Amino acid sequence: MAILLTRPVLGIESSCDETATAVLDPTGRVLAEAVHSQETDHAPFGGVVPEIAARAHLAVLPGQIRQVMARAGLNFADLGGVAASAGPGLIGGLIVGSQVAKGIAIAHRLPYVAVNHLEAHALTARLPGLVPDGAAFPYLLLLVSGGHCQCVAVEGVGQYVRLGGTIDDAAGEAFDKVAKLLGLGWPGGPVLERLAASGDSARHDFPRPLLRRSGCDFSFSGLKTAVAREVAKHPPGALPVSQAANIAASFQRAVAEVLADRAGNAMAMMRDRDPAARLLVVAGGVAANGAVRAALTREAEARGFIMVAPPVRFCTDNAVMVAWAGLERLRLGWTDGLDFAPRPRWPLDSEGMFRGVA
């Protein structure tokens, strides 16, 4: 049952290596937000260390929440609800964010919403102003991040149908691994994109896994292996920058072409489900890549779709999307019990996504 939400919503994100807090007013306008990156904490290890991530969330989150609430000019009693990522993700970080949110909900008698991190990405396109006249259901979601790569029919809040997904590595994971092979450090996606800008994308004919196959599943393991073999032709530390740039550009082009091809099939499948479907929403960290955006825009236009991607700052993990997902659920009168346990695995199309009032 739809309800009129008249007070702001607090959102908390702690599913991986960003600690984030945001407050949105009932219309979805951002009143205040903050994101603390743990990049320097994890960089020496070449990836996210779960224990370090959880401890960093615990150290940063309470003060960050106080600062965001102060910038928004609000007290906790002014809120209409509190939402926190409850999965999927690293369980330590999910526990920290969820427990802090539950504590606020208990202390101030507020509704609590356990947000699926993937749903938060899926609903970001519905933030006010991102799509002219709003992103109406249904629409097609291409979620591309370090841990996820899937095509999903978004039919409503809590109503998702998975059309296809990766059978091995996610796209973002492949970017990070190739960046590591090239000695670019971690996280590798943005650095690799900058290096690729000076390279020749036609220099290496890397494989395009599943290209022109039916369906919309993905595979990036073979592409990653092909890059590793090319890099191995040079002694360790002796790969010239110009050649590294060519490898980066060729790899990025291959990923973009695969994503466009698979998304093209997903758009056809979406049209079969609903002939009126015309919106392709691309979300997740890889959606910030310019070459990927360009390839998907061309494919969407060729198929009569409109490609929409959030602003770059909303592609990576953030609390604005969590607060918005919480707001969408609260508008429907959906809340969660304080006994809701965080889930390291929580598929977007699972039965538990459609939850009523607790």
**Three-class DSSP category at 54:** helix
Residues of the chain with pLDDT under 50: 357-358
pLDDT given at position 84: 98
Using alpha carbons, select from 323, 318, 286 the residue that is nearest to residue 37.
318
Using alpha carbons, select from 101, 316, 94, 84 the residue that is nearest to residue 190.
316
pLDDT given at position 129: 87
What is the C-alpha to C-alpha distance for residues 53 and 122, in angstroms, rounded to an integer? 24
pLDDT given at position 1: 60
Global pTM reads: 0.93
Note the pLDDT tens digit of each residue in 309-340: 988 888 889 999 999 999 999 999 999 999 99
DSSP-H helix ranges across the chain: 39-42, 50-72, 91-108, 117-123, 171-181, 189-196, 221-231, 241-273, 290-302, 312-315, 319-331
- For residue 81, the Cα-to-chain-centroid distance in whole angstroms is 23
Q: Give backbone dihedrals phi and psi of 26, rounded to 5 degrees, phi first.
A: -60, -20
Output Rg (C-alpha) for the chain, integer angstroms: 20
pLDDT given at position 39: 87
Structural domains of the chain in order of their starting residue, each with its CATH number: 9-124+316-353 (3.30.420.40), 134-309 (3.30.420.40)
Give the Cβ contact number of residue 242 at 10 Å. Answer: 11
**Three-class DSSP category at 35:** strand
pLDDT given at position 357: 44
What is the C-alpha to C-alpha distance for residues 249 and 229, in angstroms, rounded to an integer? 16
Angle separating helix axes 241-273 and 290-302, nearest 10 degrees: 30
What is the C-alpha to C-alpha distance for residues 325 and 312, in angstroms, rounded to an integer? 18
